[in-house]
Structure 1
Amino acid sequence: MLYAENCASCHGAGLEGQPEWRTPGADGRLPAPPHDETGHTWHHPDSLLFDYTKLGGAALLARQGVEFDSGMPGFADVLTDQQIHNILAFIRSTWPDRIREVQAARTEADEQRGEN
């Protein structure tokens, strides 16, 4: 399974994230957040989740003019775009219906902004 092979070592086999994920470690980096409903993954539209996964945190934020030492590596050289989409679909599939609905609405609003 793609998630188990590429994500679970940091984000947990049960999508639980690392302990103290809201508190930077000694290196200044935030630990990997949970991808279940207790984390903030569902707060973001699909396009951001895809780009964050493909490019990595530091590279994506640098494109937006933000310097941030993110522990999230980019997976562009490891996963195809379709594999990234499949992983994100798996993560979404674990969320309760209400959270999936909220995240889907955020994705739709983001897509509509992109069309304008």
Structure 2
Amino acid sequence: MRRLVLIGTGGLALAAAAALLLRPAGAEGVRLAPGDVAVVAQGAEVYAVECAACHGASLEGQPDWRSPGPDGLRPAPPHDASGHTWHHDDATLFALTKHGLAGLMEDAPPSGMPAYEGVLTDDEIVAVLSYIKSTWPDDVRARHDAINDRARP
């Protein structure tokens, strides 16, 4: 069982690394605005409509999100501080939301995460991600800021 968890975790790490390398041009300039009250309010509204059904009304994700379900797909991860969302820089989060994992890499592992291109505007995607970041404790937000600092040229 432990071996399967390690293999699954390694697969997620590889997918995240590939997403970093393959993110589309234009995503690099994306900056979240967790301190902007209007952006965060818009993001909360969009999240409630587009994201909460899978990721939870309180950003808690689905149970056993690290293990594939019977359909072979991983359940939706939490977006609160207990999840891995904050481990990815702004541009990667934006690209994954807009294009989905399959839109970023060939032979992407199966994912239930849809691509939101054509569903949400770029501003709505930034708003949702800003809302999510606004809920993280200060120490997690600071760690996420440091990840962004390392990712930006």
The answer to whether TM tops 0.5 is yes
The count of aligned residue pairs is 109
Correspondent of 1:28 among 72, 78, 81:
72
Other structure's SS at 1:61 match: coil
**Looking at both structures, which has the greater relative contact order when contacts are Cα pairs under 8 Å and sequence separation is at least 6?**
2
1:111 aligns with 2:152: yes
Query: Shift of the alpha carbon at 1:67?
Result: 2.6
User: Tell me, which stretches of 5 or more residues in structure 2 are unaligned?
Assistant: 1-44
Other structure's SS at 1:42 match: helix
Query: Shift of the alpha carbon at 1:61?
Result: 2.9
Correspondent of 1:71 among 76, 94, 112:
112
**TM-score, normalisation: structure 1:** 0.90
> In structure 1, how many angstroms separate the alpha carbons of the residues matched to 2:108 and 2:47?
28
Equivalent position amino acid for 1:25 in 2 = G
Match of 1:98 in 2: 139
- Find runs of 4+ consecutive structure 1 residues off by over 3 angstroms: none
- C-alpha RMSD over aligned residues: 0.9
> In structure 2, how many angstroms separate the alpha carbons of the residues matched to 1:100 and 1:26?
34
Query: Shift of the alpha carbon at 1:16?
Result: 0.2
Match of 2:92 in 1: 48
Other structure's SS at 1:19 match: coil
Query: Shift of the alpha carbon at 1:38?
Result: 0.4
Identity across the alignment (%) = 52
1:93-112 CA-partner distances (Å, limit 9, x unpaired): 00000000111111121112
Match of 1:8 in 2: 52
Query: Shift of the alpha carbon at 1:85?
Result: 0.3
User: Tell me, which stretches of 5 or more residues in structure 1 are unaligned?
Assistant: none
Q: 2:96·2:104 contact (CA, 8 Å) conserved in 1?
A: yes
> In structure 2, how many angstroms separate the alpha carbons of the residues matched to 1:61 and 1:102?
26
Equivalent position amino acid for 1:45 in 2 = D
Q: 2:81·2:137 contact (CA, 8 Å) conserved in 1?
A: yes
Q: 1:61·1:68 contact (CA, 8 Å) conserved in 2?
A: no
**TM-score, normalisation: structure 2:** 0.69
Q: 1:58·1:72 contact (CA, 8 Å) conserved in 2?
A: no
